[in-house]
Chain A
Amino acid sequence: MIEAVGLTKSYGKTLAVDNLSFSVPTGRVTGFLGPNGAGKSTTMRMILGLDTPTGGSALIDGKRYRDLHQPLRTVGALLDAKWVHPNRSARAHLQWLARSNQLPAKRVDEVLEIVGLTAVANKRAGGFSLGMSQRLGIAAALLGDPQVLLFDEPVNGLDPEGILWIRKFMHRLAEEGRTVFVSSHLLSEMALTAQELVVIGRGKLISQSSTEDFVAQATENTVRVRGPQLAALRSALGQAGVSIRDEGESLVVSGMDCADIGELAARTQTVLHELSPQRGSLEEAFMQLTGDSVEYHTEIADGPTPATLVPAGK
């Protein structure tokens, strides 16, 4: 289990992480979601003891990272696939890492096999594609067969094939009972990968919940009702106090679920041609929740200020 308590980090005037508390449960894939610049990478660097928090702490199974003995055996992490010397072979990179934590040399070949890099093990890492570099990073993370794994934006910049591979891989790690903490700025990606979600914006915690709950809570749940005569149903819905919106031939109802609307339709003897729950897109839901926290949000979203739209000379 990873636990952050009041984690804070400022770089000069920039408050990158702001009093962040969350916990990553054991044996599940937990997504770490937030727009770019939200502080995900900074948080992960603090968990790994690379950056020193300005305040608060991050603990792994109750210990600070720097107090772990041979930490690669406890925590594996891929923060940046480029943290490899370009002139060193993939095998040599894994060899020195393995040696530093007294891991058996044969483990190097095992992890190369797991990520499918055996054929290029003796090639210089500088010549690797991004997808291959990510695999090498994952191999490094797996070296010590750790129970806890951290991945920072592992699918960023990958082609669909690479994304699929990573996604399957995360699932496999969780099935093996490991704790996986994986960051992304894409909710759609996290919805496919993570069971739990820690959502942050501008360094602050927005929510921690199951992915399902987050999506349900974030999405405005509406029901589309279509039929030849909806007047009776409409007035019944009106009396029930839900909000109704006309959309062409149909009604869009929010505040009541399909089952209840169906019952009501039966009672008012209304013929229905469609009764379907509507879900906003995940990205919309995410933007809705983190909207206020997106850094540079106003600059990007507002476009030209109204003043500049006023014709000159008016």
Chain B
Amino acid sequence: MEFETVIGLEVHVELNTDTKIFCGCKTSFGNPPNTHVCPVCTGQPGSLPVLNERAVNMAVKAALALHCQINQDCKFDRKNYFYPDLPKGYQISQYDQPIGEHGYLEIDHNGERKRIGIARLHLEEDAGKSQHAADGSHTLVDYNRTGVPLMEIVSEPDIRTPEEARLYLEGIREIMQYCDVSDCRMEEGSLRCDANISLRPVGQQEFGQKTELKNINSFRFVQRGLEYEEQRQREVLAAGGTVRQETRRFDELSQTTLSMRSKEEAHDYRYFPEPDLVRLHIDDAWLAQIRATVPELPMEKRDRYIRQYQLPAYDAGVLTSDLAIGEYFEATVAAGAEPKAASNWVMGDLLGYLNGRGEVLADSRVTPGQLADLIAMIAEGTLSIKQAKDVFKIMCETGRDAKTVVQEEGMEQISDMAALVPLVDEVLAKNSKSVQDFLSGKEKALGALIGQVMKATKGQANPGVVNQILRDRLSALRVEE
């Protein structure tokens, strides 16, 4: 029997506000435990939350970028449950009126564009972190993360393959980074992902029994974990078995998924409207203000690069994968570089150099203007491609511009006839064998002669000009014969 896979993702994204969602504590990551806490985020008796307007701005911006409808009049609710990392015994979240709903995100897969629905996007507070002693004797809790603003983004069950799931998650990260609302670092937990996966016979409408996959901590593992789980479920079903509803986790070591717990006893969170906060009303002017800050989205930019710069889809994809790379590329073009050449240099030499050193674009010492100048020098014939690559390396290391490097290193290409003619004549005089070979019809001998001239100039001679002079001289010799 043929099966169809159905996947839905629930993604948590930490917003990169300076302060927490309901108090003034800093949100910075990696500090000593319980150093960024106050009466509010530790749930002291009598403390009250005050909504951070910036968190609202960011959530709305993200929701707009995901094409969501914005609920301009919405509210917060309490989700009640007991856990030591939850100081108030409830999480302030949004239940039936999320800030954004009915959006979508597009992915490009196998040359086709696919739309994945976003059911809802809501705002809530993060919980703290528990550290259990190895011997089980006690647990320590760090409340630094408590109250960091969090968005929960829930997809529709529109994802059909594990690869699509990875592309969707990467799409979310790109958009969040484009909107500058989150750094989306899975390893630091600023982006977290849970996945639901089920299989059903092709053509069947209702969903099969699903499992929930938790503890996915890298983009690769989203795909791997789901691939494993897809295969596992297929085998269970093919053998006539039934999939158990359970929560499983991806185990990096074995690259498999392991059962964490079977369907948890139905949890009643007793949601009710948070009485300590007033309703959140985002009026038209405020919404317009936020809308104006939504940047061109990655997918739009990709399409524009193909259209406007005639770049191959691959180039457009790489250049738009990161906001900074696209900006760098466009600045280089704006400084006069030919787009495809700029694309090659940015994707190849620039990113290659930076990646090799574990650096990012912001670390680059070469400015887009400097790169454009270098590309111009190639176009003018001042530098050969090979020379330019050497020059570029020095530029990367020193931050000096191309002209300065060429001058200081004496790397300028020699295209001056008057300088090259005597050199050519000297080479011709010293290599009569090659000259004879050429005159007797061995075209290949020309290459050897060019090589000699290049050698004599330490590679600085313009090969095109040398070629021209040699041909002139040699045809003159042929006539003499």
Whether A associates with B in a native complex is no
A residues contacting B by CB (< 8 A) are none
B residues contacting A by CB (< 8 A) are none
